[in-house]
């Protein structure tokens, strides 16, 4: 038996494939009723063609004898459509002659027409634009999210408080603290001392030259000692530690955060603040004052050697002047500054590390941002501490101790 199919394709293009001519002739030869059905279908298509070319829908009305079925060639029953009254609009780009292509004799393809839900979603009314009264009646902070640096700063204060509480309660991992102390102290000693020696020599060149021109050579040692003790040694050492240790802390903790190692610690009932942050903060606060004192001694020694060998200023003159100018409060203030700077470097670096997002790119951004923020905080804290120590209440304390 020869079957004839008319296939409708509903998609980017809408086509009607006419039946093959040999199948039509065979159907006409085998059945007279098939001829009447085919004639009715051709007349319906001829009436709907002008309407279709104008992008209108194509309706195929049912034949009165559609219920009749031919035993040999049921032409109408071979129209495998879900609904004989299907709508197939022609896209504007396809207006013109219809392409003709013989249909395959395999299983017919059924039409996937848009459902009622799609039509309802497409015909849903768009919401009206917001009026000025509605905009003014909204809360001021509706939908506002704090910037990332703000909640990171809040997290830094929270972590600092947690570290202080855990240190007071004695919840400190001694082994991790010793490991971090080795990283911060001995491994950073060489670069710190080298930098401090050159800083001392640079300031010696500036001070000795100008003081010798003014005839104040005996005051060079006191000025160098005060400058190195109060400002240069703690600040330069803190800058070195921020670049070396702070970046290492931020990168290490950031990598652990993006690789979910901190979540693993929580699963193992280990607090990341106790295990990761507190040892680093304690190590920085303990190692930085020691490094600062050693940097001060090396810078003074380099200054004395340069002044004696180049400018013929005796080492005894410089040391005596430094002993007269320095007070115990100067060394105490240097130690306090170093402890504060160590806490700033460790807290900022660890906070930026444990709040890292975005994979490897986020680790790099957190590391850079941690170093920059640490340096800015160091300079701000240095100004505040210098004002307190040497301008306000520090004068009375210095007089009492001196």
Q: Is residue 129 part of a domain?
A: no
Domain span at residue 200 reads 148-401
**Domain co-membership, 159 together with 247:** yes
CA 280 – CA 184 distance, rounded (Å): 9
**Domain co-membership, 253 together with 163:** yes
CA 396 – CA 402 distance, rounded (Å): 10
**Number of structural domains the chain divides into:** 2
Whether this prediction's pTM lies above 0.85 is answered by no
**Domain co-membership, 61 together with 176:** no
Tens-level pLDDT at each residue, the chain (402 residues):
443 334 333 344 444 444 444 444 445 444 555 555 555 566 666 565 555 445 444 444 454 444 444 444 444 444 444 444 444 444 443 344 444 444 444 444 444 455 555 555 556 567 677 676 666 666 655 566 667 778 888 999 999 999 999 999 888 888 999 999 988 888 889 999 999 999 999 999 888 888 888 888 888 888 899 999 999 999 999 999 999 999 999 999 999 999 988 888 888 888 888 899 999 999 999 999 999 999 999 999 999 999 888 888 888 888 988 888 888 888 999 999 999 999 999 999 999 999 988 888 889 999 999 999 999 999 999 999 999 888 765 566 566 655
How many angstroms separate the Cα of 76 from the Cα of each of 36, 38, 113? 10, 8, 21
**Domain co-membership, 367 together with 226:** yes
**Domain co-membership, 218 together with 296:** yes
Q: Is residue 136 part of a domain?
A: no
Q: Is residue 3 part of a domain?
A: no
Nearest residue to 180 via CA among 279, 45, 261, 257? 279
**Domain co-membership, 276 together with 339:** yes
**Domain co-membership, 194 together with 293:** yes
Q: Is residue 120 part of a domain?
A: no
**Domain co-membership, 271 together with 209:** yes
């Amino acid at each position: 038996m020869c079957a004839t199919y008319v296939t409708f394709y509903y998609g980017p293009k809408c086509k009607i494939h006419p039946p093959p001519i040999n199948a039509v002739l065979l159907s006409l030869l085998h059945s007279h009723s098939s001829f009447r059905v085919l004639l009715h279908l051709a007349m319906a298509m001829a009436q709907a063609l002008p309407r279709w070319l104008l992008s209108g829908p194509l309706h195929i009305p049912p034949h009165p004898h559609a219920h009749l079925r031919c035993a040999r060639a049921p032409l109408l029953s071979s129209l495998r459509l879900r609904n004989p009254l299907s709508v197939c609009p022609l896209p504007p780009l396809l207006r013109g002659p219809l392409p003709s292509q013989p249909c395959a004799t395999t299983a017919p393809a059924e039409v996937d027409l848009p459902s009622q839900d799609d039509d309802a979603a497409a015909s849903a009314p768009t919401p009206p634009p917001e009026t000025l009264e509605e905009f003014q009646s909204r809360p001021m902070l509706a939908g506002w999210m704090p910037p990332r640096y703000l909640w990171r700063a809040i997290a830094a204060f929270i972590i600092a408080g947690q570290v202080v509480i855990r240190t007071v309660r004695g919840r400190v991992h001694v082994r991790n603290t010793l490991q971090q102390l080795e990283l911060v102290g001995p491994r950073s000693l060489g670069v710190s001392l080298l930098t401090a020696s050159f800083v001392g020599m640079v300031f010696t060149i500036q001070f000795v030259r100008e003081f010798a021109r003014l005839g104040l050579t005996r005051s060079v040692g006191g000025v160098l000692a005060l400058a190195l003790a109060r400002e240069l040694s703690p600040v330069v050492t803190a800058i070195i530690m921020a670049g070396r240790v702070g970046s290492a802390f931020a990168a290490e903790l950031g990598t652990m955060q993006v690789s979910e190692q901190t979540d693993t610690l929580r699963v193992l009932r280990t607090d990341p603040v106790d295990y990761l942050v507190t040892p680093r903060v304690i190590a920085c606060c303990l190692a930085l004052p020691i490094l600062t004192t050693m940097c001060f001694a090396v810078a003074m020694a380099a200054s004395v050697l340069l002044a004696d060998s180049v400018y013929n200023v005796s080492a005894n003159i410089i040391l005596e002047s430094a002993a007269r100018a320095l007070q115990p409060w100067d060394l105490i203030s240097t130690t306090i500054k170093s402890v504060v700077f160590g806490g700033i470097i460790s807290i900022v670096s660890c906070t930026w590390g444990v709040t890292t997002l975005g994979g490897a790119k986020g680790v790099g951004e957190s590391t850079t941002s941690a170093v920059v923020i640490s340096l800015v905080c160091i300079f701000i804290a240095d100004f505040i501490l210098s004002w307190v120590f040497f301008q306000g209440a520090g004068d009375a304390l210095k007089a009492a101790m001196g």
